[in-house]
Amino acid sequence: MGVSLKDIAQRAGVSLATVSNVVNGYRPVGERTRQRVQQAIDELGYSPNLGARHLRRGRTGLIALAVPELTNPYFAELAEIAISEAAGLGYTLVMENTAADREAELALLDGTRQRVIDGLILSPVRIGREEVLARTAGGPLVLIGEGVYDVPHDHIAIDNVAASHAAIRHLVAIGRRRIAFIGATAGGDRQSAHLRVRGYREALAAAGLPYRPLLVARTDAFGRLDGRRAMHDLLARGDRPDAVFAYNDLVAIGALRALAEAGHRVPEDVAVVGIDDIEDGRFSAPTLTTIAPDKREIGRLAVRRLVARIEGAEVAGPLSVQTPFRLIRRESTGTPGG
Amino acid sequence: MGVSLKDIAQRAGVSLATVSNVVNGYRPVGERTRQRVQQAIDELGYSPNLGARHLRRGRTGLIALAVPELTNPYFAELAEIAISEAAGLGYTLVMENTAADREAELALLDGTRQRVIDGLILSPVRIGREEVLARTAGGPLVLIGEGVYDVPHDHIAIDNVAASHAAIRHLVAIGRRRIAFIGATAGGDRQSAHLRVRGYREALAAAGLPYRPLLVARTDAFGRLDGRRAMHDLLARGDRPDAVFAYNDLVAIGALRALAEAGHRVPEDVAVVGIDDIEDGRFSAPTLTTIAPDKREIGRLAVRRLVARIEGAEVAGPLSVQTPFRLIRRESTGTPGG
DNA sequence: CTTCGCCTGTATAACGTTATAGAGCCGCGC
DNA sequence: GCGCGGCTCTATAACGTTATACAGGCGAAG
């Protein structure tokens, strides 16, 4: 079908190996020969058959980024960054959607898929430390987010507890005392929610505020619909909070909607803070105060670590990296002066 | 490294070809032999090396979906559908981000990438009919959206003009007369915007309303920021519209934001309609009336057509398919009764 | 009894690449 | 004159799979 090394070799009157060396620079080639070969390549429009190359090399040049939901803008923004970073390193990034499904995550961990992918970046949701430890086969694995800790793999995440502290401190600083949390799961299956609840409780304690279980609302998933439903639940309990800290921006936006539907003003009656800094939050009414992770850093680091492992390079530094974050004040907690 | 056909063949005491036939069912295998081979496969945990398979078959099993922006929820939602449809057909879908860049689109059309991908689903933005016609090499191509018409490729899109008519009819029905349009590009490079403007003009005419150039606002891109800026521009002209029809939901959401910032009420002062039915519009304040394309149908159809072409099947029906859409009334044009 | 065809299984040649062993040539030093 | 190392380049064996040609056995048809 396409133009192969053989065609170039014939045209240039050299051997296959020489053409390969011109293309890959694995061994030096004489200047005259190189030019003849290069000319043949240009004329015939040769591009290597990656399948064959990778069969020979044992690598496919494909890495995967598996996220629980593509439609969460946080992951979409992360994906854009990771795709471009991977391209810069000569890799193609494949998106996988686990749909926050346990089976899907397990299948990715050590399924047949691994045979075609050089490495995997996974944002785990339904699996834990044991499942990751049980994995034996498959290429390098980089974990992102707060799902799994203490495993022998690279791990990139923000410091969730510190992030919660920052959010609560901000709410306390603007005079809120009855601060609710939305996003704790019923089961033990979403680790990051637990961490965020822990940060919430610790930060409340640090501020001298009591922890009230009635101000914690569970959700099944972490989308706008879940946030809206949980906020309505919270309001139905009769004990209205004066602030809400949400598991992420989507949940926060759902909460904003529920508050509007119930006739409460934000931030006057209830202040709202999310996490992720997705673009939606800059255009919601009111705009959303949020904890902004450094998505660029997370995406770049995850891809670089993975590629380094694939290529067998020594990777300096600890396995687990915490990336920076900052609090962005917007209307949902009252703007400082703009 | 992994377990190969050879290992299985040795274990089961048969030839390579027989194992291959058990795995692929290309040729019948005796029942006793089949069982022995199957047992060896289970014991050793064999899974085929896809690289080698595809080198031999001449296909990679990869198809690409190239969109102008991953962070537009419309494309994220479409991608989720397409990924799952492709998986069902035994293909892996790779996301490509053209970033609405002309060079990126051209590179995808006949670049080296094609060598590793069996086929491409492209949402063109900056290239036109000529560029697509100029393409000679590369696998099957399916176009989605309204960028390019009249080319010898499958094409899936909604009827843009009809969609515009529906939107305008709705605005007229609720008593609006000064209907603006946001999203026309300056250059000729975004075809769908022109079509939507055409639909807008025709529908105005059909409703007996004059076309006023001052009510058409250009944007460079089609995100929230662009919508916001364009809406501010429109308001700055002093000739306030009583309704806005936006190029898509993101632009509409940007416009909502600008209207709020300028102190106008929606829908009382200005009604707003978008296109895409992204989830954001169901949670904005106010919620967004929109033209909802059948994303599931578009995603499924695009993948199915592409796979059919790859596998050389006869594809019935015309190349160009128009998928259904419907108008969803929400708060931004005044809810009918809820 | 042959011939044909079917059934089951085998041997082997691709697919396009890269890595390895080695061939030819030249110049240098003994 | 000869051995030796360095420089180019070539020939070829993999990588793991699938498709093709073929071999052997056996029953049915001639």
Q: Gap from A56 CA to C22 C1', in Å? A: 22
Class of residue A107 by CB neighbours under 10 A (exposed 0-12, middle 13-18, buried 19+) = middle
DSSP B164-206: HHHHHHHHHHTT--SEEEEEE-SSS--HHHHHHHHHHHHHHHH
Token pair 């390549």: residue: A41
Q: Is the bond preceding residue B324 a cis peptide, omega within 30 degrees?
A: no
Q: Gap from A45 CA to C12 C1', in Å? A: 33
Q: Gap from B93 CA to D17 C1', in Å? A: 22
CB-based contact B70 A79, cutoff 8 Å: yes
Q: Gap from B55 CA to C17 C1', in Å? A: 10
Contacts of A186 (CB under 8 A, 6+ apart): A218, A220
Among chain A residues, the shortest Cα distance to B70 is held by: A76
Closest CB to A58 among B1, B55, B260:
B1
Residues on chain B touching A55 (C-beta within 8 angstroms)? 49, 51-52, 55
**Residues 37-76/B with CB < 7 A to strand C:** 52, 55-56
Query: CATH topology for B62-159+295-323?
Result: Rossmann fold (3.40.50)
CB-based contact A94 B97, cutoff 8 Å: no
Among candidates B146, B249, B251, B160, which has minimal Cα distance to B199?
B160
Q: Gap from B323 CA to D1 C1', in Å? A: 87
Closest CB to A76 among B71, B112, B283:
B71
Among chain A residues, the shortest Cα distance to B249 is held by: A280
**Residues 122-141/A with CB < 7 A to strand C:** none
Strand C within 7 A of B17 CB: yes
The CATH architecture assigned to B5-48 reads Orthogonal Bundle (1.10)
CB-based contact A285 B49, cutoff 8 Å: no
Q: For chain B, which ranges sit under pLDDT 70?
A: 1, 111-115, 186-193, 313-317, 336-338
A176, two tokens: 């809120």
Token pair 């529906």: residue: B166
pLDDT attached to residue A338: 41
Contact by Cβ (8 Å): B331, B267: yes
User: Which of B280, B288, B335 to mutate to test binding with chain A, by most A CBs within 10 Å of its CB?
Assistant: B280
Strand C within 7 A of A48 CB: yes
CB-based contact B279 A223, cutoff 8 Å: yes
Q: For chain A, which ranges sit under pLDDT 70?
A: 1, 111-115, 186-193, 313-317, 336-338
Q: In what order do the strands lie in the sheet with B62-67?
A: B92-97, B62-67, B119-122, B141-144, B154-158, B320-323
Q: Are A62-158+295-324 and A160-293+327-333 the same fold in CATH? A: yes
CB-based contact B2 A115, cutoff 8 Å: yes
List protein-proximal bases of chain C (any atom < 7 A from a CB): 7-21
DSSP secondary structure code for residue B90 in this structure:
T
SS3 readout for chain A: CCCCHHHHHHHHCCCHHHHHHHHHCCCCCCHHHHHHHHHHHHHHCCCCCHHHHHHHHCCCCEEEEEECCCCCHHHHHHHHHHHHHHHHCCCEEEEEECCCCHHHHHHHHHCHHHHCCCEEEECCCCCCHHHHHHCCCCCCEEEECCCCCCCCCEEEEECHHHHHHHHHHHHHHCCCCCEEEEEECCCCCCHHHHHHHHHHHHHHHHCCCCCCHHHEEECCCCCHHHHHHHHHHHHHCCCCCCEEEECCHHHHHHHHHHHHHCCCCCCCCCEEEEECCCHHHHCCCCCCEEEEECHHHHHHHHHHHHHHHHCCCCCCCCCEEEECEEEECCHHHCCCCC
Q: Gap from A2 CA to D8 C1', in Å? A: 29
The domain segmentation of chain A, as residue ranges, is 5-48, 62-158+295-324, 160-293+327-333
User: Which of B116, B135, B229, B284 to mutate to test binding with chain A, by most A CBs within 10 Å of its CB?
Assistant: B116
Closest CB to A283 among B47, B54, B254:
B254
B148, two tokens: 């390019």
CB-based contact A224 B283, cutoff 8 Å: yes
pLDDT attached to residue A328: 97
Give the tens place of pLDDT for each residue, B42-91: 888 888 887 888 888 888 888 999 999 999 999 999 999 999 999 888 88
Strands (DSSP E) found in chain B: 62-67, 92-97, 119-122, 141-144, 154-158, 179-184, 216-218, 243-246, 271-275, 289-293, 320-323, 325-328
Give the tens place of pLDDT for each residue, A266-293: 999 999 999 999 999 999 999 999 999 9
CATH of range A160-293+327-333; options 1.10.645.10, 3.40.50.2300, 1.20.1730.10, 3.30.70.270: 3.40.50.2300
Residues on chain B touching A103 (C-beta within 8 angstroms)? none
The answer regarding whether domain B160-294+327-333 maps to CATH 3.40.50.2300 reads: yes
Query: CATH topology for A62-158+295-324?
Result: Rossmann fold (3.40.50)
Among chain B residues, the shortest Cα distance to A61 is held by: B116
Helices (H), B25-126: 31-44, 50-57, 73-88, 102-110
Identify the three-state secondary structure at position B1.
coil
Give the tens place of pLDDT for each residue, B99-108: 888 888 988 8
